[in-house]
Amino acid sequence: MGSNFDVIIVGGGIFGATSALEIHRRGYNVAVVDPGPVPNPLASSTDISKVVRIEYGTDEIYARLAEYAREGWLKWNEVFNETLYHEVGVIMLTRSPMAPGEYEYENYRSLLRRGYSAERLDSRTIARNFPAFNANIYIDGYYHGEAGYVESRRVLVFLFQEAERKGISILSGQRVNEIRISKGRIKGVATVEGQFFSTDQVILAAGAWTPYLLPELQSYMHVVGMPVFHLKVFDPKLYEPPLFPVFSADVTHSGWYGFPIHPQEGVIKIANHGVGVPLNPQTDERVVTDRETGRLRDFLEESLPSLANAPIVYTRRCLYCDTLDENFWIARHPEVAGITVATGGSGHAFKFGPLIGEWVADAWQGKPNPALEKFKWRNLAPDAIGTEASRYREQF
């Protein structure tokens, strides 16, 4: 099948949706190819919520970009005339006194240095201001008000509604299984459904599927799945802001983080940001194990005792396309003309949603952008170390 598109974007998550809108804004005819439905419930970008924070430990580059992204989320609330970003604040709690070199301490110091107001917490203030948390366990940390969460699935709904209004083609129901290359140039993409879309420009934004569609990337990125839980509560007042903002619970030593009760779904989401389990998104089941559920129950009993027996109404595996260094991968292919890769979310990309489209469009057009130096095509050693500061590094 021939196409009249200047560029085909493979993947309808946050990378693909924002790229389509930005490239269309620059005057190009764009199509998005996705298995559908859009938003795709299997995509990493879906689920009900994602954290927005401007803290990145000692990484000042990500911290500055996160500041710009937060401004973008506030602007999108105005553009869509809808509160998709909820600025409810964040608490980052620790079991021992915050100390130099630790994630929470470096966050706190960075916030103050950049002129933000961050409130230091102790057991007494935790017990008074955030009573759901066990203040005998958590003795230190801080609260910062310029943070919160976005309703991630609804964000994608609004983005694709905007794309359709602008005439961007959404080719849903087509699962790309082959990137066809000849003589060092892209020729098109083929789908399981038997379609072939001829094109000389492809942006590969397929998240966890990307290294399987472009096998040369498997040396630099891999796919893992994290457990996610939705809990039902019967007395929601204790779990609403300001008593219950977005939280991380000694996250670099536990992986646990979570959200206040969701305004649409009426559940609390709690997840683990850690090592995860290797998964093939094409063939493996995405099942949360009994062991992981038991670990959640242990965490709740100790940290949030009023939730210890809360019913689990839904579980999922959030797939991370992890680059070895945990930086995004937004770059032209160095050897195949016409391919630009936009992936490697590594569990922390969605918060940059308002910026991603510009990054990808600039990479595709070859325009200079300081952020792209961090996200460039790079040769990573097999023992490269991940640098995303909030990640729990032990086996869960």
pLDDT in tens, the chain (396 residues): 556 899 999 999 999 999 999 999 999 999 999 999 999 888 889 999 999 999 999 999 999 999 999 999 999 999 999 999 999 999 999 999 999 999 999 999 999 999 999 999 999 999 999 999 999 999 999 999 999 999 999 999 999 999 999 999 999 999 999 999 999 999 999 999 999 999 999 999 999 999 999 999 999 999 999 999 999 998 899 999 999 999 999 999 999 999 999 999 999 999 999 999 999 998 999 999 999 999 999 999 999 999 999 999 999 999 999 999 999 999 999 999 999 999 999 999 999 999 999 999 999 999 999 999 999 999 999 999 999 999 999 987
Closest Cα to residue 134, out of 95, 100, 92, 107?
Answer: 95
d(CA 330, CA 352): 13
pLDDT of the residue at 1 = 54
Let me know: does 56 contact 31? Beta carbons within 8 Å. no
pLDDT of the residue at 235 = 86
| CA-CA-CA-CA dihedral for 154, 158, 164, 170, to nearest 10 | -30
Q: Beta-carbon neighbour count of residue 331 at 10 Å?
A: 20
Burial class of residue 195 (count of CB atoms within 10 Å of its CB; 0-12, 13-18, 19+): middle
pLDDT of the residue at 338 = 97
Q: Quick one: which H or E segment has residue 39?
A: none
pLDDT of the residue at 149 = 98
- What is the architecture, at CATH level 2, of domain 87-148+222-323? 2-Layer Sandwich (3.30)
pLDDT of the residue at 2 = 55
